[in-house]
Amino acid sequence: MRVLIADDHGIVRSGLRLLLERQPDVEVIAEAADGAEARDIAVRERPDLAILDLKMPKLTGLQATREIRAQAPETKVLILSMHDDERYVAEALAAGASGYVVKTQADTDLLAALRAVERGEPFPAPAAAGELTPREEEVVKLVAEANTSKEIAAILHLSEKTVENHRANAMRKLGMRDRVELVRYAIRRGLIEP
C-alpha cells in the first residue's frame, strides 16, 4: 500500500511515517505540510491512501479530501484529527473520507483504520460508536440480523416509523449508507456472530 502523509507538524509526519513503515506492505511515498500540497501530490502520484490532518493551512483536510476524491478517485482518504466529535466524523465521511482517526488514539487506531480502508470498510472513530443510544444499538443489532422494520417494531414494541428513525439516526452517527455496512459494524462491535 502506497501512502501519502499530510500534516502541518513535521513531528507528527515523522511519527506517522515510523508507525506505518513498520508494516511490511506499507510504503510512505510522500509527505505534505499543507492541504494544497497534499492534493497536488495525490493527483500526481496516485497513492492508495492519503492520511490528512483535519486542520491544515491552504486547504483543510476536508477540502483536500473533496478535491483528491474528485481528481484521483482511486486514492482513499483517512482523516486524522485532534477532535473526538461525531460532527467532524460525519463531515469527513460526507466529504468522501473512508475513515476518521483521533490523534490521541492514532498509535492503536491508525493501523486498524488502514486495514479497514484496505478491505473497503469505513473506519468510524471509537467515540462515534459510543454515541449510539442503547435503543439505536438494539435496532442496529436487529437490522444486522436481517429483520425488517415491521419485525423490529413488533420485537421492540415500537411503531415502524420509530424503528426507521432509530435506524436512520444510527446510520447517520456511524457515517454509513447501507445495511451491509451496518452488518459489518455489528460484527465488529460483537453485537452479532459473523
**Residues 72/48, Cβ–Cβ less than 8 Å:** no
pTM score, whole prediction = 0.65
What is the arithmetic mean of pLDDT over 50-55? 94
pLDDT tens-digit profile of 120-165?
877 764 455 557 788 888 999 999 899 999 999 999 999 999 999 9
Report angle CA 184, 186, 188 to the nearest 5 degrees.
Answer: 70
CA distance linking residue 18 with residue 24, whole number of Å = 12
Per-state percent for the chain, helix, strand, coil, to nearest 5: 55, 15, 30
**Residues 57/35, Cβ–Cβ less than 8 Å:** yes
**CA torsion, points 51, 55, 58, 61, in degrees to nearest 10?**
40
